[in-house]
Structure 1
């Protein structure tokens, strides 16, 4: 059976979370809730979406677990390729859509830091080779803990790129 490099996984997660939160901190509060262009989320809405998604993944770890009848990392590269393909537009399920109300930047940053710590604790304390029952990934099915953590990392990296695009548009608007 293959081995999970927990240090590498944790390092990737830490780096990704730090970059995401740093991008949020770099945005002036005056434009945090500003729509940068048509059909776009605000910086705050992107962050709220990521928080909802990450919270859902943390909850998935409290589901029943089972040994998979496949390699624990079988879908990790598929998820990576899917989420880091920036030419493909994706639509999130409604339950992780952000609301339309104004979002408090500092409160949201604190919540994101807390959920990031919970995810890092999962990496250290859970058997990531087991399936987390009941969390269904479209076209794949149930994921192992390892695949879920990778899903969080790649999903967050995708939204880092989205934030960079939004921030660039906001800077151009302000000039």
Structure 2
């Protein structure tokens, strides 16, 4: 995996953890309104997306089809928060409350699983040659699935900052 992607994964995750570390569990689980997610749910969603991404890439690597798929400007699509993207049920968060440290553990576990999984791919160039259908982005090369992890996290960090403002959390 190239260093830029690795650095972006690391830096984005550090920023996410900084945003949530000092929250009380009550703040963490407060919803801005009943139709919106709490910060805890946003974070749980990020864990589920990371785990689903590992499965999607693993599945994509087994595919025989190697036709070059069109690369997308995933950064432009994902970071545009004016366009709502409905989360598929499989990556929808639990409604049960979470503790901050519990979510940080889940985030650490999912990232460790991702990095371990990626380290098992001997020929990284194959990631640009194979693709799998992404629920929001359509057919997406596997290397862009990795890229969308940190971009998706950046999108949700902005959402977390907005929720904190709404909840009047001063950090």
TM interval, shorter chain, is: 0.7 to 0.9
C-alpha separation in 1, matches of 2:64 and 2:137: 16
Report the RMSD for the aligned CA atoms in angstroms: 2.3
Question: Which sections of structure 1, spanning at least 5 residues, go unmatched?
Answer: none
- Length-normalised TM-score, structure 1: 0.82
2:149 maps to what in 1?
A: 152
2:2 maps to what in 1?
A: 6
Question: Which stretch has the larger CA shift, 95-104 or 118-127?
Answer: 118-127
In structure 1, which of residues 16, 30, 34 is the aligned counterpart of residue 30 of structure 2? 34
1:50 paired to 2:57: no
1:129 maps to what in 2?
A: 128
Quick one: structure 1 residues 139 and 94, their matched pair in 2 at CA, closer, same or farther if it must change by over 3 Å?
closer
1:162 maps to what in 2?
A: 159
Question: Which stretch has the larger CA shift, 81-90 or 142-151?
Answer: 142-151
- Length-normalised TM-score, structure 2: 0.83
- Aligned length, in residue pairs: 164
2:66 maps to what in 1?
A: 68
Question: Secondary structure of the residue that 1:62 maps to in structure 2?
Answer: helix
1:105 paired to 2:100: yes
Question: Secondary structure of the residue that 2:40 maps to in structure 1?
Answer: helix
Q: Could you give the per-residue CA deviations for residues 90-133 of structure 1, whole angstroms, max 9, x where no partner exists? A: 2111121112111122122101012112223344442222425x
Quick one: structure 1 residues 139 and 45, their matched pair in 2 at CA, closer, same or farther if it must change by over 3 Å?
closer
Quick one: structure 1 residues 29 and 83, their matched pair in 2 at CA, closer, same or farther if it must change by over 3 Å?
same
Question: Secondary structure of the residue that 1:61 maps to in structure 2?
Answer: helix
C-alpha separation in 1, matches of 2:65 and 2:100: 40
Question: Which sections of structure 2, spanning at least 5 residues, go unmatched?
Answer: none
